[in-house]
Structure 1
Amino acid sequence: MNVKLVLLILAIIITAGTFYYTQDLVKELEKSEREIVELYANSLEFIAGPTSNEDFTFVFENIIKRINFPLILTDSSGIPTSYDVGSGNKNIEIDSTLTQSEKEAFLKNKVQELRKIHEPINVTYNINGKEQIFNKIYFGNSEIIQRLQYYPFLQVIFAFFFVAIAYISFTYLKKTEQSNIWVGMAKEIAHQLGTPISSLMGWVELLKLKSQHPSEVINISDEMGNDLNRLNKITNRFSKIGSKPILKINDIGLVITNVTKYFEKRLPQTGKDVELIYIQPKPINLMLNSALFEWVIENLIKNAIDAIGSDKGKILVAVQEHKDVVEIEVSDNGKGINSKNRKNIFKPGYSTKNRGWGLGLSLSKRIIEDYHKGKLILKNSILNEGTTFLIILEKSLKKNSEKIKNERS
């Protein structure tokens, strides 16, 4: 689903939920305040009754003091008679510098304002069996209700900023990721092309030296042909990125052998004393795209070579066959990977070196997990001792091919 749409829907849900809850709370508070006013009106009716001779201290201490909202008591015609009811400054405030006539005009205007907020409550008396209105109580909302009424609008503003900030952040992260991918792709292409190009340059120099020895020239030309084929493979691999590759039955041992033989002849050109060990297992047929799977093994071996310093290095490629899966381990005795970097090594564009690893491991993981429905993990790594990567592939051709078929459909 579109992330931007999700953010918008989330903001709408938050705003609508908050608005509904706030309005429900406001209604409950308004109901409670109206009950207080009605109780106050009933108290006035009872106090004014001809038979009343009770002590009304309780009424004034427990009812009137609870009035913390604007309230004006008028006569039956709407002329204000009292406004200083309730808990002091939370009721009607009038400028003390106003004249009496100005105060009366102010209160009349206030009555009209309160009428728009709530219907007045009538104070009635029974005279000769008839109910007559002697007073009217006009009241408004308390300060807390007024605040709550504005709260949904503030929530809308906050939701808008939330969506805006989330959108900007998402866009920035997406652009950063795209930038990292392009940078990583450029590094990876240079990294991939580096080995065969260096080899070709070396073969050219040898040709100059061995031009008088036809047999050696033939061998050198064969190796140059291998490097040119490798360049063709590299371009073919990059052309497959983003499309569904065709998987065929391949002997995984032979596929890995093709890679190790290529590196064995070119290890001396790295300037490092590195031994590449690979024991070819018995034939194990799996659904593979041989070109892409070779790329994965090459990436892991290259990373192992880069991790080995000036000391004698050893790279071991081991294949283990189990009941349901086949495991391929690529181990080295190099410098290892720092613990803080381990969680990032498969991220596009991430690299701790000037070249390589920008996309190599990221692409390798995608090739194994997305295309071959297997797993590529960092099994272990110890600083200054070495690193082991593990590839796990389904052994069952039927099960493996069904996974791939379902993914394509």
Structure 2
Amino acid sequence: MKMTGGPGSLQMKMFLLILAVIIAFSTWYYTQDLVQKLQQREKQIVQLYANSLEYISSPNSQTVDYTFPLEIIKQIDFPLVLVDSRVTPPIDSVVAIRNFTFDSTLNEQKRKELIKQTILELSTFHQPILVMYEGQILNKIYYGDSDLIKRLKFYPVLQIIFAVFFIIIAYISFSYLKKNEQSNIWVGMARETAHQLGTPISSLLGWEEILRINNKEPEKVADVANEMHNDLERLNKIANRFSKIGSKTELKMENVNDIVNKVIDYFKRRLPHFSKIVEIKTEGSENVRALVNIDLFEWVLENLIKNAIDALEDKKEGSILVRIIDLPKSVEIEVEDNGKGIEFKNRKDIFRPGYSTKKRGWGLGLSLSKRIIKEYHKGKIFVKQSGLNQGTTFLITLNKN
């Protein structure tokens, strides 16, 4: 099983990078558009103020309503300096200053230098608006950006920092979960391997001891040899199963009934070892064929039936039913038990590597089963029905072509 970072990990990194670029660009574009609209609005206010000054300067302005320019001035919430272009030097031509705060302790000379510096700074932000009368420049209006615009200009930077921070946290969390999942899989695979190999190896050790005791009785030696052969076949099957995980799997049209019956017979021979009475039976269509890999599909059935037996832990008598349903394009296999059931909130978690409700469970059986059915057989496996103390029904869907 290949556990190193593969295409999925690379795709996630690319997705996070593209997401960061999209967030940064969209934030910058939206903010720039908003800033430009606000700057245009402020320019219109300054232009309106300049027009009102031009109108006041006109000889026909005796009947003008002077409250209108005052109302315009009230709307100005950004830095503004009005200078008289007919007076030199410019520092002595300041007519009005708005939205500036000066230190009251400054002397006249330092105050003038500060005003001069302010005018130079404002001229770098925007071209001054001219107040004209009969082709002559009467005044120049220097203005800057409001506090709102200044904050909006820094907003994309803050947004991008936040987005980058969020993506870094998301990536670290994703990497941690991925590593944790991989760790669970490795531990589970090691334990599953030990579990799978443990039974036939223990059996072989037992047969070896019997051979030592009965080495002079040919009939018993022959029986022991047959049992040892069965255990060796079991070991070979286990090795084949693990070798197929992570490699390309060949699927063939096989008789599903034969596979199911073989697995059930295997468990029936072992049922006397369980401290409960369990009935395992089949029903449904006969001679059903589907595309399967026998070794891997048997593994899935063994996991489901073993889980079903474990779910009967509090019952002295239990039943397990394997139902085979033949459909036009697919085959459905239901594994139903009358055990303790699965809570609804845990239905999605049971297929997650490392998740188990058993005291000594490793949380790998159902995870491997899902991988085998979904990735190798291109089928489906899920909990069809379950409830607390109502039993559980797993449904497997296999393809015919």
Please indicate the TM-score interval, normalised by the length of the shorter structure.
0.7 to 0.9
More displaced 10-residue stretch of structure 1: 201-210 or 48-57: 201-210
Scaled by the length of structure 1, the TM-score of the pair is 0.86
Q: C-alpha separation between the residues in 2 aligned to 1:233 and 1:262?
A: 13
TM-score by length of 2: 0.88
CA contact (8 A) 1:187 1:356 kept: no
Aligned residues: 387
Deviation at 1:329, TM superposition (A): 2.3
1:371 Cα shift?
2.2
Instruction: Tell me if structure 2 keeps the 8 A contact 1:114–1:138.
Output: yes
1:308-354 per-position Cα deviation (integer Å, ceiling 9, x unaligned): 22512322233233444333222223222233322211112221224
Aligned to 1:193: 197
- Following the alignment from structure 1 to structure 2, what is the Cα–Cα distance between the partners of residues 387 and 125? 92
Tell whether 2:32 aligns with 1:26: no
Query: Contact conserved, 2:325 with 2:331, CA < 8 A, in 1?
Result: yes
5+ residue gaps in structure 2? 1-9
CA pair 221-277 structure 1, distance change in 2 beyond 3 A: farther
Question: In structure 1, how many angstroms separate the alpha carbons of the residues matched to 2:53 and 2:290?
Answer: 94
Structure 2 residue 94 is matched with structure 1 residue 81 = yes
| 1:225 counterpart residue number | 229
Mapping 1:287-306, distance limit 5 Å? 287-306=291-310
Change (3 A) 1:349 1:262: same
RMSD: 2.5
2:50 aligned to 36, 41, 46, which one?
41
**2:363 paired with 1:358:** yes
The CA distance in 1 between the partners of 2:188 and 2:181, in whole Å, is: 10
CA shift for structure 1 position 63: 0.9
**CA separation in 2, counterparts of 1:194 and 1:271?**
20
The match for 1:103 is: 111
- What does residue range 362-381 of structure 1 map to in structure 2 within 5 Å? 362-381=367-386
Cα distance, 1:51 vs. partner?
2.7
d(CA) in 2 for partners of 1:338, 1:195: 31
**CA offsets 1:181-225 (integer angstroms, 9 cap, x no match):** 112212322332343345445555666787786545533432232
* Distance of 2:209 and 2:338 partners within structure 1: 32
d(CA) in 2 for partners of 1:47, 1:162? 56
**Partners of 1:282 and 1:43 in 2: CA distance:** 96
Matched, 1:94 2:99: no
Quick one: structure 1 residues 263 and 308, their matched pair in 2 at CA, closer, same or farther if it must change by over 3 Å?
Answer: same
- Tell me: CA distance 1:274–1:107, structure 2 relative to 1, closer, same or farther (3 Å): same
Deviations 1:106-163 (CA, angstroms, capped at 9, x unpaired): 211211111111111222222xxxx222221111111111111111222222222122
Aligned to 2:121: 113
Offset at 1:6?
Answer: 1.3
8 Å contact kept, 2:290–2:331: no
Q: Structure 1 residues 305, 254: closer, same or farther in 2, change over 3 A?
A: same
Segments of structure 1 that go 5 or more residues without pairing to the other structure are: 86-90, 401-409
Offset of residue 100 of structure 1: 2.5
Aligned positions of 1:1-400 closer than 5 A: 2-76=11-85, 77=88, 78-79=90-91, 80-85=93-98, 91-126=99-134, 131-200=135-204, 203=207, 214-278=218-282, 282-309=286-313, 311-356=316-361, 358-394=363-399, 396=400, 400=401
Q: Give me the whole-angstrom Cα distance separating, in 2, the residues matched to 1:211 and 1:57.
A: 125
- On the 8 A contact 1:183/1:358 being kept in 2, the answer is no
Measure, in 1, the Cα distance between the counterparts of 2:361 and 2:221: 33
